Amino acid sequence: MRSTELATGKRRRVTLVEIASAAQVSKSTASLVLNSRPNVIPISESTKRRVLDAAAKLGYRPSAAAKALATGRSHTALIVSLDFWDEHLFLRLKGIEAHLVPLGYSTRICTLDAPVGLRAFSEILHSGQADGVLLSGATMPDTQPLVRSLCQQASAEGVPVVGMSNSFPPDCVQYVADIANRSGADEAVSHLIGHGHRRIAFLSVSGQAWAEERQRGYLEALERADIPVDPNLIVTGHLSQGWAYEATQLLAQAQDFTAMFVVVDRLAIPALSALKAAGRRVPEDCALIGFDNDYTVMRFTDPPVTTVENPYYDTGKLAAAMLVDLIEDRPMDDFTLPVHLVIRRSCGCTDASQT
């Protein structure tokens, strides 16, 4: 049985003493080689190779604590999820890990909400267990003070913060892995205009920068088509499905429109139900387009809903790349991820994809 295996068959951690003995060097020399630390006494390439070969043969993996002690970094990204249901967090996590793991970084997750506050975050941050922070979710009125405090604490520790959506106060979250919200909304509304619609309602939310960008895209598409903006067709509320249902019902009773663009798929689902309850067939009486492409739901509605694809995996990957650049003090490019329209039947298209 190999010396790195116990009687139970489980592997135990290889020690520095074992590597030094196998490479026939001192423990201090082995430590300097494995941790890539500078030394006033040069170490020959042949000695370095013996140490590295011995480490590889014995299956050595440095502990996180030892690595942090040697480099001054934990090589860990802390993902903070706010008290808001982010149903796409798993896709973002896959993108984050696709970038971080090959670079030797790991991830941790903690939650932040008004009742609990910053306790878990603060303990991780102040104990040096995170080199950077990735924010997920959306800032709501009750969590905005917590986000500001989080950013202040991170700044005081020299820890960078990157948002995985444009949902956070820009004065404290300066780096965001953003998507083309405005052009995506423009494409959606332009598609409805291409179907001949001129009375296009817009259901949105307040207090979110991404929603404001999507509203600008809606307005730009109307302006380019010389369609007058009717303020009565723009309804703004909050991220509540109950509110979206009621708002759509009231709008259907009070206004004449033949199409609707909903700022996010989470609200497009109740909007679709409300239109049906009001006696409006989709798309025959009212075409409908959402935003985000919640593909686990939107392709199975009746009819399947046309929507703008939000690249959640790529957003996570971009956010991780931005964070590593900040941690390692490298220049960072300003890049916005493109989006595209996913055609289904709710917009009036008969030859539609089901993706």
pLDDT tens, residue order, the chain (355 aa): 234 444 444 456 677 788 888 889 888 888 777 765 555 467 888 888 888 888 888 887 665 545 554 555 689 999 998 866 577 889 999 999 999 999 989 999 998 877 677 888 999 998 888 999 999 988 888 788 889 999 999 999 999 999 999 888 888 898 999 999 999 999 999 999 999 999 999 999 998 999 999 999 999 999 999 999 999 999 999 889 999 999 999 999 999 999 999 999 999 999 999 999 999 999 999 999 999 998 788 888 999 999 999 999 999 999 999 999 999 988 887 789 999 999 999 999 986 665 5
Question: What was the pLDDT predicted at 15?
Answer: 79
Euclidean distance between CA atoms 16 and 62, whole angstroms: 9
- The strands making up 259-262's β-sheet, listed across from edge to edge, are 234-237, 200-205, 259-262, 287-292, 306-309, 340-342
Question: What was the pLDDT predicted at 5?
Answer: 46
Q: What is the pTM of this model?
A: 0.79
Write out the two tokens for 287: 């075409």
Which residues sit opposite 134 in a β-bridge? 79, 162
Contact 312, 337 (CB under 8 A): no
Distance of CA 335 to the CA centre of its chain: 15
Euclidean distance between CA atoms 44 and 25, whole angstroms: 12
φ and ψ at 78, to 5 degrees? -95, 120
pLDDT in tens, 54-97: 888 888 766 554 555 455 568 999 999 886 657 788 999 999 99
Euclidean distance between CA atoms 314 and 338, whole angstroms: 10
pLDDT in tens, 161-198: 999 998 888 888 989 999 999 999 999 999 999 999 99
Domain boundaries, the chain: 16-62, 74-179+314-327, 181-309
Question: What was the pLDDT predicted at 335?
Answer: 84
What is the helix, strand, coil percentage profile of the chain, to 5? 45, 15, 40
DSSP classification of residue 183: H
DSSP classification of residue 347: G
Please state which of the four CATH numbers 3.80.10.10, 3.30.300.30, 3.40.50.2300, 3.40.50.261 is assigned to the domain occupying 74-179+314-327: 3.40.50.2300
Which H or E element spans position 95? Answer: helix 89-100
Whether 74-179+314-327 shares its CATH topology with 181-309 is answered: yes
Question: What was the pLDDT predicted at 139?
Answer: 83
Please state which of the four CATH numbers 1.10.10, 1.10.260, 2.30.230, 1.20.120 is assigned to the domain occupying 16-62: 1.10.260
DSSP classification of residue 179: B
The DSSP line for 197-262 is ---EEEEEESS-HHHHHHHHHHHHHHHHTTPPP-GGGEEEE-S-HHHHHHHHHHHHHH---SEEEE
Contacts of 71 (CB under 8 A, 6+ apart): 35
Distances (CA, A) of 204 to 212, 293, 346: 8, 16, 19
At the top level of CATH, which class does the domain 181-309 belong to?
Answer: alpha beta
φ and ψ at 109, to 5 degrees? -130, 140
Length of the chain: 355
Contact 261, 192 (CB under 8 A): yes
